[in-house]
Amino acid sequence: MPARLVQHVTAFRIAAAYALVGVLYILTSDRLLALVAGDLPQYQSYQTLKGWGFIALTSLGLWLMLRFAFRRLEHTLRAVTRAEDRLRGALDAAGGCAWETRMTAAGEVVFRASGSLARALGFVGEGPLHQADLQGRVHPEDLAACDAHFTAQRAVMLGQIDSVPPLLLRLRAEDGQYRWIKIVADVDGHRRDPEGSLFGFALDVTDLQQAHHSLADVIAGGEVGTWRHDTRTDRLTVNDRWAAMLGRRLQDLPQPLTIDDWRALVHPEDLAQMTRSQARKFLSRDYFCTEEFRMRHADGHWVWILSRGRAVEVSPTGEAEVLSGVHVDISRRKELEAELIAKSDFLQRLTETSVSGILAFDPSGAIVFANMEAEQILDAAGAGLVGRDHSALGWLYGSPGCGFPFERVARGGETLHDLRLTLPRADGTERVISVNAAPMAARGGPVQVVCSVSDITQRLQDERRLAEAAEEASHAATHDALTGLPNRESFRAQVAPAQARARGAGELLQQVFLSIDQFQQIKDRFGPQLGDRVICKVAERLEALREPDQLLARVGAEEFTFLRRCRIAEEPEGATRMLSAVFAEPFDIDGQPLYLSASMGLSQFPMDAQSPEEMWLNADLAMYEAKALGGNRSVPFTPKLRDRLAREATIGQSLQRAIRDGAFALYLQPKVNLLEGDSLSGAEALVRCTDPALAGIGPDLFMPIAEKTGLVRDIDLLMIDLVGAFLAELRGRGQRLCVSVNLSPESLRRARFGQAVLAHLAAAALGPEDVLFEITEGAVVDLNSEARDSIEALLAAGFELSADDFGTGYSSLSYLQKLQLKELKIDRSFVSRIALDDGASDAIVRATLAMAAALGLRTVAEGIDTPEQVAWLRQHGCDVGQGYFFGKPMPASAFLDAYPGGTATCAATCAATCAAAGG
């Protein structure tokens, strides 16, 4: 019930009681007087007396009541005054003040403040203060919170809300400094106030805030995570750093965070150990804990945490209700501890297992520590080292009788490195040990000496042997192992100084590259061991010709290079003429004479070259030119040779581009049956390059370059693809044709070339009935393992082979029979001289035709240009003819127009020819 209503009810009850007592008194007294009074005057006299008595009694009662009320009021007033004084004193002592807020008739909120804080802030005055007066003192960052607080006060006074949250803001005091003020409103007092004012208090909490911020700065600076555990609710409160240690954000943690959430992050082993430890401590009411454990990081790894905490709230029974503490990330410390332990273990094991002896001496020179290796090296008597003096070890330094220089290290502070000392052995020999010693000053203690000792007797012996081996290795690194001559690197290192000397003396330098001709054939026929002996014989003769100021080196399998100085007046061929004399006489190999020749290239400094590399390259190019010209000759380097080689390099580059772009065209030259009315027997496939950069350059020019640069293999395979496309078109017309395809000797020497040919044949759908392969006689004779494998692969697949340019090489019958050839092509150099007066070519061709007939081989004469040649060949039984007389090479499309009819396949043609020849 409201206080005001209680007051009204109480007053009403007193008045009603007084009226009831008065009525009862009057009624009772009147009846009593009527009984006592005898007559009316007596009754009236008694009535008057009764009235005076009533007045007296009521006056006395009223006086007693008012006296009691006034005493109570005075007591209450004194209590209120004392309470107000105490409150004011407490507020002043606490640096606070009381305030009152009310609303004016215009709806404006005004306030008054009293107390020491109000005076310090300058809010004490005669009239009320307005909101703007307060806002002028508020810190700019707190204006929004101040406006919100006044809005909440207005809403409370209007009855719209029931509470006003406390406000913490900064106000500028009279001295110009901002003070932290906490404002608290008494909403319950507002409800009791008849005028509807809102009262409250304001406290100066500047010191508290500064302490709070200082503590926060310490926590932030120390990267300390804080936690607070309420055991009554199992709630856990942590700060941002606590979460950041685990790679998380505070808002990412479960809300509310419980102690079970914390347990889920702790390593299971550490959690079990910590639970046991804390259970024992909590049982004894010891709530101060220091633990180290691992917690799982958000990335999955474990973080080492140092946790310290204590109870901050304890129940009356002594049980912890709230625990508070901090977390510190000690992962780095744990890593350092692990590293320190590892290093300590390592040093311990290093000392125990060291291959060097380790000793420690006290300041007097006595041994205080020695590992096992030191015992083995120095303790020959087996009496132990610890306790013995350094001078008793018997090691000698320098002159006899001079031992380990302990004084230099201990008192002179000198550090010794690899000091060589000797230890005499019982057998009279000596051991050599290496000693490293240094002073070691202990903290607050005397200087000690630590040294390591190693027995280097064997090492010195090994070093001597190693030096000898290094000298041998150095010689081997700069000399050829087979001949003992300088090698390529050694030769090149001496050319530049030789050029400098020649330039200073005004002389010339001549470098000759020499290569033994057909050396590979010699190795293939007689074996590599005999080849090595031949190289040694050649090297001996060359070394015999070399003068002291000349250089000779072996730079390849069968290649040598020679450098000499000469005068300008000397003829350039002098060097090559002198070297050619080496091969004038045969070489005696196991009593058998072996005749050799050599190809040589000559380059001169400074006419041909200005640097060692250029002179080397020029001589090398000239040597290869000599080989290309047939060998057994010398070729001097000339600018024209370099230009030609540069042109060949340009053609080689263009060929690479043409191969990449497929810029080749198929040409066909007809082959006719000489014995069957000149009917079409087949065609030979020829290639022409359509790349613009190679315009006007025919196969006779670019094919040798392709062979040199290793591009001919790609051209041969491309030719198969072109033939396949042409025969596919021919088959579409219902026609067949036997096409001869040339395979380069260089391609046959490539590994797995036969498998590549078969793969292209399969892709082009070409079979033995479509293609006949022509290989030169040189490729047949010089048949290495790769070429043999390729040819055997083609024969195994059923393809036939033709020996091209037969008669210009070895004409080996064994190889013809071994390779199962089906055709011989007589070279044009013989065909062009048929029916001439000398008759030599006629005899060679007749012999070839007779040999082919005896072997059952088909014969093809190439280069036929005249009717007389045709007639002669028919007369002597040649099977097939080919040449300009029958037709020049023409594009595939023109060939189809010129020969619209078909012909038999390769196999059928071969069978018919063999039957006609009686094979």
Distance separating alpha carbons of residues 170 and 138, to the nearest angstrom = 6
Distance separating alpha carbons of residues 775 and 747, to the nearest angstrom = 10
CA distances from 671 to 668, 826, 889 (A): 9, 13, 11
DSSP 8-state assignment for residue 389: B
Cis link prior to 256 (omega < 30° from 0)?
Answer: yes
If phi > 0 it is left, if psi is from -120 to 50 it is alpha, else beta; for residue 92 that is alpha
The two tokens of residue 7 are 């007051």
DSSP 8-state assignment for residue 692: G
CA quadruple 429, 434, 440, 446: dihedral, nearest 10: 20
Cis link prior to 606 (omega < 30° from 0)?
Answer: yes
CA distances from 237 to 226, 322, 363, 659 (A): 8, 11, 60, 78
Helix (H) or strand (E) holding 301: none
CB atoms near residue 483 (< 10 Å): 21
Secondary structure of residue 479 in the 3-state scheme:
strand
Long-range contacts formed by 106-114: CB under 8 A, 24+ apart: 109/150, 109/153, 109/154, 109/157, 113/202, 114/88
The two tokens of residue 712 are 């001919």
The two tokens of residue 218 are 């310490």
In 3D space, the residue among 553, 571, 549, 572 whose CA is nearest the CA of residue 562 turns out to be: 553
DSSP notation for 110-123:
EEEEESHHHHHHT-
Task: Note if 862 is an active site residue.
Answer: yes
Strand 167-172 and strand 178-186: the pairing is: antiparallel
Which residues have C-beta within 8 Å of that of residue 33, sequence separation ≥ 6?
43, 46, 47, 50
The two tokens of residue 352 are 């125990």
Residues 807, 826 contacting (CB under 8 angstroms): yes
**End-to-end CA distance of the chain, in Å?**
145
The residue annotated as part of the active site, out of 269, 375, 862, 868, is 862
Residues 145, 163 contacting (CB under 8 angstroms): no
Residues 416, 436 contacting (CB under 8 angstroms): yes
Quickly tell me which residue has 């013809």 as its tokens.
816
Q: Rounded to an integer, what is the distance from CA 582 to the centroid of its chain?
A: 59
Which residues have C-beta within 8 Å of that of residue 805, sequence separation ≥ 6?
776, 777, 778, 825, 827
Quickly tell me which residue has 């082919």 as its tokens.
852
CA distances from 758 to 315, 710, 753 (A): 98, 20, 9
The two tokens of residue 358 are 């380790």
477 φ, ψ (degrees, to nearest 5)? -70, -25
DSSP notation for 198-220:
EEEEEEE-HHHHHHHHHHHHHHH
Residues 533, 585 contacting (CB under 8 angstroms): no
In 3D space, the residue among 260, 266, 226, 255 whose CA is nearest the CA of residue 243 turns out to be: 226
Which residues have C-beta within 8 Å of that of residue 343, sequence separation ≥ 6?
none
Q: Within 13 A of 810's CA, how many CA atoms are on the CB side? A: 14
Give the type of residue at 243. A
Which residues have C-beta within 8 Å of that of residue 615, sequence separation ≥ 6?
495, 499, 509, 511, 603, 604, 605, 608, 609
Residues taking part in catalysis: 862
